[in-house]
A = this chain, B = another copy of it.
Amino acid sequence: MTQSRPMLDFYFDFISPFGYLASLEVDGVATRHGWECRWNSMLVGVSVLKVMGMKALPEIPLKGAYLQREIARHCRRHGISLGRSTSAAPVNPVPAGRAFHWIAKNYTAELKPFARAILDAYWLEGKDISQISLLVEHFVRLIGDGPAFAAALTGGEGDVLLRKAVANSLDRGVFGSPFFLAAGEPFFGLDKMGQIDEWLGCGGW
């Protein structure tokens, strides 16, 4: 008889620096406490800009400049060398989001390695992850033949899957990146990692 492990849902946008930094830690926190960690990609361009009616973070006076500094401080502390400027305009995250959700449906076991590769390509190597060719290249390397994958990105299938996933994330109250649901309990922000660690360890309060 196996007992299913409780689920930590991790939500991120590929172009969110805080989402990337959280992706480096979240599996470790979940595993340490015997929780399963499921990755979910979302779009802050929908939640923050459209649903919440806010500006993009880098464009907010005072806060935008502060957040650049906060990211650099976190990276120094953790020995991370980003390959792109966090003040540069982000690329279009939609192709990577479509790729993510098509793989989630068709190659679940390969989802995290693929997502990690794309995150690293963007944040460490400074690559343009909006390029279909780059996504296919990683798919072929990690998973296999790429035609069906490439078709899903350019045709309607990836679009439908991504739209549905983003709608689901909004239904669950997810509004930022990173966002976490620990068996349903919501936590927002990279700064919550310590509190999540405590929550998983004791089962909540």
Give the interface of A toward B (CB within 8 A): 47, 51-55, 60-63, 65-66, 69-70, 73, 76-77, 170, 173-176, 185-186, 188-189, 191-192, 194-195, 205
Contacts and interface: CB of A to CB of B under 8 A. Distances in A.
A62 B205 contact: no
Given A52-B63, A73-B205, A191-B195, 16 more contacts: A51-B61, A51-B62, A52-B61, A52-B62, A53-B55, A53-B60, A61-B175, A62-B170, A62-B173, A62-B175, A63-B176, A63-B188, A66-B173, A69-B186, A70-B188, A73-B185
B47 A62 contact: yes
Contacts of A53: 55, 60-61
Q: Among A61, A77, A170, which residue has the most Cβ atoms of chain B within 10 A?
A: A61
Contacts of A194: 194
A175 B205 contact: no
Q: List the 8 shortest-distance A-B pairs measured between CB atoms, nearest first.
A: A191-B191, A62-B175, A52-B60, A52-B61, A63-B175, A76-B205, A194-B194, A51-B61
A51 B62 CA distance: 8
A185 B73 CA distance: 10
A73 B61 CA distance: 30
A192 B65 CA distance: 17
